[in-house]
Amino acid sequence: MKLFLGIVSVLVTAISGRRQQPFGPNGDGRANIVVILTDDQDLHMDSVDYMPLLKKHVIDHGTFYKHHYCSTAICCPSRVTLWTGRNAHNTNVTDVFPPYGGYPKFVVQGFNKNWLPLWLQAAGYSTYYTGKLFNAHTIENWNSPHPSGWTSSDFLLDPHTYQYLNASFQRNQHPPVSHEGQYSTDVLAEKAYGLLEEGVQSGKPFFLTVAPVAPHSNVDPFPVTGTPEDALKGIHMTAPISAERHKHLFPDAKVPRRSNFNPEKPGGASWIKRLAKLTDEVIEYNDDFYRARLQALQAVDELVEGVVTRLKDAGILHNTYIFYTTDNGYHISQHRLNPGKECGFEEDINIPLIVRGPGVPIGESQVVTAQTDLAPTFLKIAGAKWGWDGLDGSPVPLNEKELENAKKERQEHVNVEFWGRSIPEGKHRFSLDDGKIVDYGPNNTYKALRVVGPNYSLYYSVWCTNEHELYDLTTDPGQLNNIYSTSPSESEITFLGVPVSKLLPRLDALLMVTKSCKGRTCVQPWSVIHPVGNVKTLQGALNKRYDNFYASVSASVSFEKCELGYIIESEGPQEAVVFREGLSDDWLANGGL
């Protein structure tokens, strides 16, 4: 107990950025925060367009951040990043299963004693959570240990997390309770309303997260024991199940037929470039799967209205931030892929973020934001310190002044990374071009960058197979034309008037920083390469005075081998290159992060 009190004391001293004042009956004036976190919701297949109540209550009253990204496109690693403010290479929670991921890995890494709910409590907030927290958080390990930092909680638990009609919830310190036969999102909604009422009555500003599993696949049940290989064999994913009242909706809805929908030519790298074209039978199934996802989101849409209505009735809607987002994106039929995530394509990493709240303008924003930015954002709203070394992001700009400044000053990059395999969801496996059927995509480990500037939009990746991808999304939004040159005989492509051969070493040097960055260097990676501070963007780095410097860089991003998790010995070179201002403009030195 003395140790626990000591930890709390340290947290209050280190994190609280304001002098505590007595709470009034309706809090101390600081804003409440409500997060609605869906599971596997796409942006690029237009799922948000099928949610009229989200539009009515949040989109039409707030800002839609069109360039918001997850850094790791799978549930548990992305959620750990969200709640710790750290990239997956800094949490080392990189999978949904042990030994590389899941709730047990989160605990072993020490984050149950050092994460957002504890920081917010130290800043004087009441904290509440209901729904899915992490994978491998089960009816067996729910109290060993219990997730810390929540004033009150009601968690969905494996192996029933993804069973829409057989959910198990676990309230505070009470044993799990089965809700067999009830619709999971409806059960969750009632629990959310109860926790919201607790927050209103707490006399403090509050933080509430509501995390439905929709539109994730239905899984009967989710494997929680054995090796990852056993889990892959035992996992049975089908289309999500909607509430009965929504099953008739959208009878004509189909996956949008855009340029990368089941393309004529294969693309990508590693196992993806070997995929066979989808058959008509598979496409029809995938359209049905897509329609089921839209139907499953309708109960979430109703939940959004229920939350907003209760905030309004309590007289606190004007002083509450509502964040609507998801853990990762999703693809169906793009790049010949069956339903799933885990890839670096835009469908998987570019995700919804919509914010309504005090001072938030109405409209869309093109500034670049990421899941690592959300914890610092919540801390800033709470009046707590947010710019400390353990955080890999920076606050999302929330008012007109901040958004305007962000156009000129905010970072333009996102770190993207993944380890392990890619799993197809639904009844169809991956079909390869040689006729083989495989249960998963192997060697799905990669490091990547997403860079979005005023007049450029790029994706650059290095796979554990040491294959490379470079896509110019300004001219190729479907990411079909890999412009990474592999042959000297290929005609030189130019970018912003610069040959791609000069662009690539700049991108690679930047990726060398972001793939292992920590804290400030994740937000300002160019400051590692150009410590004087005169280069802050890719366009700045393309200045011809740096041509000799970048041409002289010998170390590049590469892997020693493909791994299922983050094993640094297999991650290749780690040291960034540094440009030193001086007598020579191309003096090179290696420097650590």
Q: Which of 150, 127, 122, 128 minimizes the C-alpha distance to 17? A: 122
CA separation, residue 33 to residues 311, 355, 474, 539 (Å) = 11, 10, 35, 37
Angle at 330 between CA 324 and CA 333, to 5 degrees: 145
Give the start-end residues of each E strand in 5-93.
32-38, 63-69
Q: What are the helix and strand counts (H, E) for the chain?
A: 17, 22
Q: How far apart are CA 113 and CA 170, in angstroms?
A: 20
Residue burial 478-498, b: 16+ Cβ < 10 Å; e: rest: bbbebbbbeeeeeeeeebeee
Judge whether 75 counts as a catalytic residue.
yes
The catalytically annotated residue of 70, 75, 76, 517 is 75
Contact indicator for 425, 237 with CB cutoff of 8 Å: yes
Q: Strands 320-326 and 32-38: what pairing?
A: parallel
3-state secondary structure of 105: helix
Q: How far apart are CA 62 and CA 311, in angstroms?
A: 16
What does the radius of gyration of the chain's CA atoms come to, in whole angstroms?
23
Provide the token pair at 235.
Answer: 């996992």
Residue numbers annotated as active site: 75
